[in-house]
Amino acid sequence: MPAAAAKTKAITRISQLLPDDRNANRGTERGNAFIERSLREYGMGRSILIDKKGRIIAGNKTVENAAAIGLEDVQVIQTDGKRIIAVQRMDLDMAKDPKARELALADNRAGELNLEWAGDVLAQMGGEIDLKPFFSASELAAIVGKDAAYGDAPEAQVERAEELRKKWKVKAGQLWEISRDVGTGPKHRLLCGDSTKKEDVARLWANVTKDPNP
């Protein structure tokens, strides 16, 4: 008889989970505070997702905040992704309990408040996986550019310019306008060009007035 396949050690404690060291969501201070409050008031609502070795695929921030408030036990449901896994809260009834409806709102709101893309992580991933199904070129440029403004983006990869140009199908001279997240000032502008050429710089700043909401 063939030797029995080695079994992965059962995960029963939160300390056995491995965080994603390349999580593209930095989270936000307000979002993490919201998740912690939600866990305290409503408990766990949905499951997290881990790989076969216990590394977290989805739910890193939930695990961080659960550990912070002392939630230690983990119940693992193994699956191959071909069936729906439902977490059933036997203490809640959507038709009767306001707490159940509040939990539904908290679930949506937590995801909204705690999302802040890490441009440096996405830039690294772009060399390994195709990001086009997830972000438009202008969206990705805005995320990476925001990091660059705060000094968090990786160094320019000049030697990969031709490779990346082909991957993203951009051409010299293309100009994008990117809407602001807040404020009423002019849109952000992104030009595919050469910052050492006066004509490219002049085109980028053409018709841009002073921003009343810097």
Instruction: With residue 201 as reference, give the H or E element that holds it.
Output: helix 198-205
Highest average pLDDT, of 5-14, 95-104, 115-124, comes from 95-104
| Contact present, 19 and 56 (Cβ < 8 Å) | yes
Helix, strand, coil proportions of the chain in percent (round to 5)? 40, 10, 55
Cα 8 to the chain's mean position, in Å?
29
The structure's pTM equals: 0.66
Taking only the tens place, the pLDDT of each residue in 125-172 is 988 899 999 999 888 888 888 776 555 445 566 667 777 777 777 778
Cα–Cα distance, 206 to 178 (Å, whole number): 15
The pLDDT, as a whole number, for residue 144 is 85
